[in-house]
Structure 1
Amino acid sequence: MVTRRLSRLIAVATIGALVLLLSPTAGAAPGDGLASAPTLSLRDLGSDPDIELYGQAGVQTIDIPVLPGTTPTVLNTTALVPTFVRTASLTVLQDNRVISRQDVPTGGPVPLTIPLAGVRVVDNAVTLMLRTYLLPLEGYCLDPSNPMRLTDTTVGYEGGERAPTAIADFLPPILRALTIYVAPDVSQGVADAAVQLAAAIAAHYGRQYPDISLARMGPGSTPPPGTARPFERQVVITEGPKAQVSLQPNDSGVPSLLVSGPANELTNQARLITSNVAQYALSTSAVAGPLRSAPQLTTNLTTIRKLGQPGVNSTAIKPEVYISLDQTRLGRASHNVRVHLRGSYTPLPEAMGGRLVASVGSDTIDRWEVTHEGVIDRWIDVPDRLLARFTSLRIQLDIAGNTGYCGEFQPLTLTIDGESEVSSEPASPPVPAGFQSLPQSLMPRVEVGIDPDSSDDTERAVTLIVGMQRLSALPLDTAVVPLQEAIDSPNPAVLIDADDWDHPEIRLPVVAPRNIPMMMDVTDDSGQPTTLTLEPALRFGSLQTVVDGKRSLLVATSNGAPEQLDELLRWLHANRQRPANLDGVAVISVPGRAPVTVLATQNVEPTPDTRAAPDIKPWWFATGVLVLLVASTAWWLWLRRRRSATPEE
């Protein structure tokens, strides 16, 4: 009897196990995922992997995104302690709880493994405070400008990513790659939705810099041809009779997302993915109502708080703070920038002297003496010649006097309030010119002109717009239109004509020479000056900036070599810093050579020699002689009449 019951229980357990193994979530415990979570660099998580902790007691805060189903367990880093330090320690805290504390060896770079046992995950993120304490050798002082450095910092996770079960879960906190699939004969509606989605994903993930690409499906296929890996997502955009957004399960366990509908509805459905409404899409299918993009309205007066800085402060013997003037946050190309500094500083004792200095880079733009009130209330003008896409205004408190041994003088605190105003005016043409004027001169809404039904141009548009979005603190609002419509439009635009530029109404800085070779002054990939000779038969691809009337244009084209344009786009996409560092008005890619940058507007098309003698028509010459003869006669008659009217003495 007992044996029979035991056999029956074993049979039931076996059948139950088989059911679990054959179910969609086979054998997955609530905490288990699709694959083991990897070790990720802080750079992949949107933060700087190199952490600097200044002073004897340095403090830094890091934010670590966490995928559902995973937990951060360890920080791996390399520590470099400043010279003349006897002992160093590192403490990791969360909400004033000590997570880890350890001594740091001195004398050179040393690897550190910092356990994170006991961290709490809140809203798919962990915030940690790193605190260091340095004790110098007897008789030595700490250099306040030489921090303790933690380099190449990575985060190790345990657990595995959970497959999304609803649209609200589709975008994970950490994304390594997104592939947007379209049909080979892409329509304007599909292209518009794909470009807008690519820009929205780039804005959503910010400095995580996920790899965003466009791929083509086979004719008539809806599911993607491949399968998504952990930390990756796939989206299919296709025209159809019914507007909807839906999860599409596949063999990999990571479902793709289908965006479908009539051409005029696709963009609206694609907006759902990154909108605030997505958190309420707790099912596998949803239909988005009207979701309008809201370009930020620009004003001539704002505050540094509205520009992303609630206030800045520093405590040191000679404190300094930095105010970020980001033209993309201003939402337009700007000039005549003025900052109304409001804040305070620690008043100096009678025996000390000091002044406040405002500078941009190595250029001092203002200085004034400190007072005993310790109040800052001053307008600072930032010259147009120092403006870039991103300008950092430094405010430093310099003091003179005896600060004691090892800076025993009480540290000073310098504070700039978040309500400090920033005044600016729209710049047309933009300041500065060229690539440093992008993308702010394309705001608030940029048209993307491509040839109809061109999947290649749509792919180029995705690459360009993603690159522009990564330079911007605000989301870009895009609209894909036919190329000629964008050319004829008065609005800012990105124009893509990969084969050849045959639109004389818009004159580019660099055009192919027609007859004789032309030499240009350029800079290479390292920024060193060099020359480039363009010959009539040389094929090249280029990205060029143009100011057409009051609007700015970015033109992607070639002289019959679309493959060179694609090579140029791959070169830009391969390094995160290249688009940000790009200067000048054009960048050119020729076969067998790294792309080069044209720093100033140069017309490389043969033109008539402007120094030659002007072409004077004979009748103009005769008319001039006649006018001169009439004027001379009138002058002679006037003098004679005057002399005759004068009485003799």
Structure 2
Amino acid sequence: MKSMTEFRGVRVILMELVIVALCAVFSPIVFAPTPAAADDSPFDLNSIDLGLSPTTSISAADGRTTLTLPIPDGTRATTFTANAIVPAGVWRGWLDVSVGDRLLSRTDVPEGATTVPVRVPLDSAVPEPPDSVIVLSLKSTMLPLDRYCSFIPLDTQLILRDQLVSYLGSPTAPSTIADFLPPVLQQFTVFISDQPTAEQSDAAISLTAAIVAHYGAQPVRIVLRSDRELSSAPPDRPFERSAAVRANSDGNTELIYPEEPAPPRLYITGTGTALLDQVRLVTSNLAALAVSTSASAGAGTPPPILAADSMTLTDLGISGPSATGITHVTVSVPLDQTRLGRAARNIRVHLIGTYTPLTANAGGSLSVSVGGRTIATWPAEADGVLDRWIDVPAAVLGRVTNLDVAFRAGSDLGCGNGPTVSLSIDSSTVVTSAASGAPTPPGFESLPQALLPQVPVALTEQDFANTARAVAIVAGLQRMSTGPLAPELVSATDLVGGNSSGILIAPNGNVPDGVELPLRTTEGSTLTFTDPHAAFEQAITLGSELRYGTLQVAYDQQANRTLLVATSVDAAEELDRALGWLSADTRRWYASKGEVLFVAPGREPVTLTSPAADSPTSATTPDSGKLSIGKVLLASVALLVVLAGGYLLLRRRRASA
């Protein structure tokens, strides 16, 4: 017994010496990974936790889809539950759920049912290596009400909501760096010095972007804390991870285990590019090779991020969509500007594909629309070959623009009495674009694509608080991007004096000269809103000075660039409240419109929208730049401020998801 005690003491001392040498500061005592006790504790994860959509839609008549469920190590999935919303016109039916060739459950849909509970036992489902996932195959079969119609339209949807996966077990704590990131992550904490160097701030910002990109649709909460709190911080829970970023002459990553059974912390050390190399290791493919508790990434150069003028659907990560229907069918091609790698204009799509060849007695047509607005239509050819260039007007562009391609042939006599037709878009379809002038759409809807391909980040003051603000903004922007961002910390002088788009953190109002903000305060109590897109300006003078925080999207026409500026007028705490409000619900970043997010003391956040962003575009009036006085006044009524018992009203839009 004594020899074992001596051995443990020697081991602890040796490990403490290693940590001191790496970090030059005191760190918690190191223990070997302690295996969790065998535990069958139940827990549930909903579809949002798993990075899935809140609802799943299936063609009711004869539809199929799949759901991929991650299985954390040390756990097993027991059941999948949901509520199925039955469409009108259904007599009865059933929903089959299987894994591979094995049927797991069949849920009957009785006559007259509008909502049916779905329960799928998963005990017999074996996770697929190497990602340890269960892929559920769902097949809907619904029969029509014979007395009304012997047909259910193929676009009628059975919808699953309230989706939940139940598990048993305790997630295993990672034993190597390769296992550090679990398949499901709810919170990631980064510890840095409360007086960080520029290198540490850069590493924290880059690590934030990498983690959010790695987990995609999972709403991972990002937290930045001072490393002074390391010793008192509670251990991470099973679906939480943390990393400490510290300066050291040697680049290294190492897992440090707490005394109690809990996930270890990852200590990332280094200086200069060596520190960034360790950060990149955490989410890179090479992490799978780090089957040890310590590893050091060698020098590496990240591949350049370039925006191409021409890309196929395959390049954009889109599989060629196809569909089948009665007399008419529609498929959607999503055009994501973040996948194009820039705010784009002059977008053209060379549609390549096939459709059902016409018979001698049947005519047909094809059309392309965006949001219900038809932008092209032409007669179908007898050979069934789709080969057409489509110009996408700037007025219909969004961050993501769904191009709906429709094919119609023959006559629809109702109740399925018509020809069955198909439409398929080939993945070789080409999308061409050019670099944008003024982003379309403008304002928050132009983010993050207007900042791509690289994303310079500048802090007017190099400190912890500004680093935390940059982390919150980069995390929000990364959630809206389908590809990884490449943030890089630069000086405010270089950002403002250059021609690149980027993010500027100036919480105390010390915005450098040369940056024209949409909303600014002059002479202490005059608020001026300027819209560079529509040559519009509105000024209002208040009875006294106003303190407020803002997040503003500033477009520089001369340099043809966009700056996202976080600033305030003597109210940095209001800026932090605005960023906290955005981070509290990941949908708020997606929903934000306009050029300015404004927060005054005691008030909820509001957005200020320019006439260019807020005016509806007529399908028959292409010249949307000509705005009536009424529209300008309506668009300027966007800001509500309570001050000294009076109200300032431009036009209030409560910024909500």
TM-score normalised by the shorter chain: which range applies? Answer: 0.7 to 0.9
Return the match for 1:160 from 154, 170, 180. 170
How far apart are 1:397 and its partner, in Å?
1.2
Determine the structure 1 residue equivalent to 2:405: 395
> Match for 1:354: what amino acid?
G
Return the match for 1:498 from 501, 504, 507. 507
User: Contact conserved, 2:517 with 2:554, CA < 8 A, in 1?
Assistant: yes
How far apart are 1:37 and its partner, in Å?
5.4
Question: Which one is further off, 468-477 or 144-153?
Answer: 144-153
- Once the two structures are superposed, residues 80-121 of structure 1 have per-residue CA deviations (whole angstroms, 9 ceiling, x without a partner) of 212232212111122232122221344232332221231121
Cα distance in 1 for residues equivalent to 2:480 and 2:355: 34
Determine the structure 1 residue equivalent to 2:96: 91
Matched, 1:111 2:117: yes
Cα distance in 1 for residues equivalent to 2:35 and 2:313: 52
SS in 1 for 2:321: strand
SS in 2 for 1:265: helix
Cα distance in 2 for residues equivalent to 1:514 and 1:42: 51
Cα distance in 2 for residues equivalent to 1:248 and 1:215: 17
How far apart are 1:600 and its partner, in Å?
1.5
Matched, 1:320 2:330: yes
Mapping for residues 112-151 of structure 1, pairs under 5 Å = 112-122=118-128, 123-141=131-149, 142-151=152-161
> Match for 2:210: what amino acid?
A
How far apart are 1:179 and its partner, in Å?
0.5
Question: Which one is further off, 390-399 or 192-201?
Answer: 390-399
Mapping for residues 269-348 of structure 1, pairs under 5 Å = 269-317=278-326, 318-348=328-358
Determine the structure 1 residue equivalent to 2:4: none
* Larger Rg, first or second structure (1 or 2): 1
Matched, 1:363 2:369: no
User: Contact conserved, 1:223 with 1:248, CA < 8 A, in 2?
Assistant: no
Determine the structure 2 residue equivalent to 1:49: 54
User: Contact conserved, 1:521 with 1:532, CA < 8 A, in 2?
Assistant: no
> Match for 2:256: what amino acid?
Q
Question: Which one is further off, 481-490 or 494-503?
Answer: 481-490
Matched, 1:192 2:192: no
Matched, 1:462 2:468: no
Determine the structure 1 residue equivalent to 2:627: none
Cα distance in 2 for residues equivalent to 1:55 and 1:138: 16
How far apart are 1:36 and its partner, in Å?
3.4
Cα distance in 1 for residues equivalent to 2:221 and 2:553: 25
SS in 2 for 1:407: coil
Cα distance in 2 for residues equivalent to 1:386 and 1:79: 34
Cα distance in 1 for residues equivalent to 2:342 and 2:330: 28
Equivalent pairs, count: 567
Cα distance in 2 for residues equivalent to 1:47 and 1:104: 24
User: Contact conserved, 1:119 with 1:126, CA < 8 A, in 2?
Assistant: yes
> Match for 1:201: what amino acid?
I
Q: What TM-score do you get using the length of structure 2 for normalisation? A: 0.82
Change (3 A) 1:556 1:55: same
- Once the two structures are superposed, residues 16-54 of structure 1 have per-residue CA deviations (whole angstroms, 9 ceiling, x without a partner) of xxxxxxx9676756xx46x83521111111111311111
Cα distance in 2 for residues equivalent to 1:535 and 1:489: 38
Give the fraction of aligned pairs with identical amino acids, expressed as a percent.
Answer: 37
Matched, 1:259 2:264: no
Cα distance in 2 for residues equivalent to 1:113 and 1:460: 43
User: Contact conserved, 2:519 with 2:527, CA < 8 A, in 1?
Assistant: no
Matched, 1:249 2:254: no
Return the match for 1:428 from 409, 416, 437. 437
Change (3 A) 1:158 1:532: farther
How far apart are 1:534 and its partner, in Å?
6.0
Cα distance in 2 for residues equivalent to 1:532 and 1:337: 39
How far apart are 1:167 and its partner, in Å?
0.4
User: Contact conserved, 2:343 with 2:450, CA < 8 A, in 1?
Assistant: yes
How far apart are 1:405 and its partner, in Å?
5.4
Cα distance in 1 for residues equivalent to 2:202 and 2:524: 40
- Once the two structures are superposed, residues 265-324 of structure 1 have per-residue CA deviations (whole angstroms, 9 ceiling, x without a partner) of 221211110111111001100111013222432221111121111201001112100111
How far apart are 1:417 and its partner, in Å?
0.3
> Match for 2:186: what amino acid?
R
Question: Which one is further off, 263-272 or 556-565?
Answer: 263-272
Determine the structure 1 residue equivalent to 2:246: 238
Determine the structure 2 residue equivalent to 1:439: 448
- Once the two structures are superposed, residues 43-82 of structure 1 have per-residue CA deviations (whole angstroms, 9 ceiling, x without a partner) of 1111113111114112111111111122222111111212
Determine the structure 2 residue equivalent to 1:214: 224
Gapped runs of 5+ residues in structure 2?
1-30, 532-538, 613-657
- Once the two structures are superposed, residues 455-505 of structure 1 have per-residue CA deviations (whole angstroms, 9 ceiling, x without a partner) of 000000000001111111111111112333322233222000111134232
User: Contact conserved, 2:76 with 2:123, CA < 8 A, in 1?
Assistant: no
User: Contact conserved, 1:449 with 1:483, CA < 8 A, in 2?
Assistant: yes
Question: Which one is further off, 267-276 or 91-100?
Answer: 91-100
Question: Which one is further off, 511-520 or 200-209?
Answer: 511-520
User: Contact conserved, 2:552 with 2:565, CA < 8 A, in 1?
Assistant: yes
Cα distance in 2 for residues equivalent to 1:342 and 1:27: 55
How far apart are 1:140 and its partner, in Å?
2.4
Return the match for 2:63 from 58, 61, 65. 58
Question: Which one is further off, 123-132 or 557-566?
Answer: 123-132
Mapping for residues 403-422 of structure 1, pairs under 5 Å = 403-404=412-413, 406-422=415-431
> Match for 1:511: what amino acid?
R
SS in 1 for 2:519: coil
> Match for 1:598: what amino acid?
L
SS in 1 for 2:575: helix
How far apart are 1:174 and its partner, in Å?
0.8
Cα distance in 2 for residues equivalent to 1:310 and 1:102: 30
Change (3 A) 1:328 1:295: farther
> Match for 1:545: what amino acid?
V
> Match for 2:424: what amino acid?
T
SS in 2 for 1:461: helix
Determine the structure 2 residue equivalent to 1:614: none
SS in 2 for 1:319: strand
Change (3 A) 1:513 1:132: same
Matched, 1:472 2:481: yes
Cα distance in 2 for residues equivalent to 1:589 and 1:392: 33
Gapped runs of 5+ residues in structure 1?
1-22, 523-530, 603-649
> Match for 2:252: what amino acid?
Q
Change (3 A) 1:372 1:345: same
Determine the structure 1 residue equivalent to 2:75: 70
Mapping for residues 571-586 of structure 1, pairs under 5 Å = 571-586=581-596
RMSD value, Cα? 2.4
- Once the two structures are superposed, residues 235-264 of structure 1 have per-residue CA deviations (whole angstroms, 9 ceiling, x without a partner) of 001112332100000124211100012244
Q: What TM-score do you get using the length of structure 1 for normalisation? A: 0.83
User: Contact conserved, 1:181 with 1:224, CA < 8 A, in 2?
Assistant: no
Determine the structure 1 residue equivalent to 2:105: 100
Matched, 1:562 2:572: yes
- Once the two structures are superposed, residues 128-176 of structure 1 have per-residue CA deviations (whole angstroms, 9 ceiling, x without a partner) of 1101111122222324443111111111112220010000000011111
User: Contact conserved, 2:188 with 2:220, CA < 8 A, in 1?
Assistant: yes
Determine the structure 1 residue equivalent to 2:624: none
- Once the two structures are superposed, residues 526-561 of structure 1 have per-residue CA deviations (whole angstroms, 9 ceiling, x without a partner) of xxxxx9986651111111112231322110000110
